[in-house]
Amino acid sequence: MKRFKERLDDLEKAIQRLQEALQEDSTDLVIDGVLHRFEFTFELAWKTMKDYLEYQGISDKIGSPREVIKEAFSAGIIENGDIWIEMMLSRNSLSHLYDEDASRDIYEQIKKLYFNEIKKLENKLKQH
């Protein structure tokens, strides 16, 4: 439980930092900062879900981010598993290559979809 609470606290701080960056004007430097903060926040999000699932006694088949997302969806921790899988794929593409057009598309997805899903997760986990 302690690890989950510590990770949740870190996640809350990361979400706040991502939100601050999203409120800035969309300059190249800001977009790059948002993408970096998104990568970090996504990492904390899936690891926090994993810790929560383990705390709930659900630890079978939850090693990879994809497995954690699927199990979190099944357990009702997240509402939209497809968006979370899309987030994971976006994070992976940011980590492995840099394509300016693709990164700008991901930036728009963060603003339109991803951030809201991350906030929903935060709110759900804070209830526990």
The percentage of residues in the chain with a pLDDT greater than 90, rounded to a whole number, is 81
**Residues 18-75: tens digit of each pLDDT:** 999 999 999 999 999 999 999 999 999 999 999 999 998 887 767 899 999 999 999 9
Residues 6+ apart with CB under 8 A from 39: 91, 94, 95
CA pair distance 110, 104, nearest whole angstrom = 10
pLDDT, tens only, 69-92: 999 999 999 999 999 999 999 999
Q: What pLDDT is stored for residue 99 in this prediction? A: 79
pLDDT at 101: 87
Q: Has residue 109 got a pLDDT over 90?
A: yes
* In the block, residue with structure tokens 């899988």: 85
Least confident of 53-57, 107-111, 114-118: 53-57
CB atoms within 10 A of CB 74: 12
Q: Which domains does the chain have, with CATH numbers?
A: 2-126 (1.20.120.330)
**80 vs 98: which has the higher pLDDT:** 80
- Give 73 or 94, the one with higher predicted confidence: 73
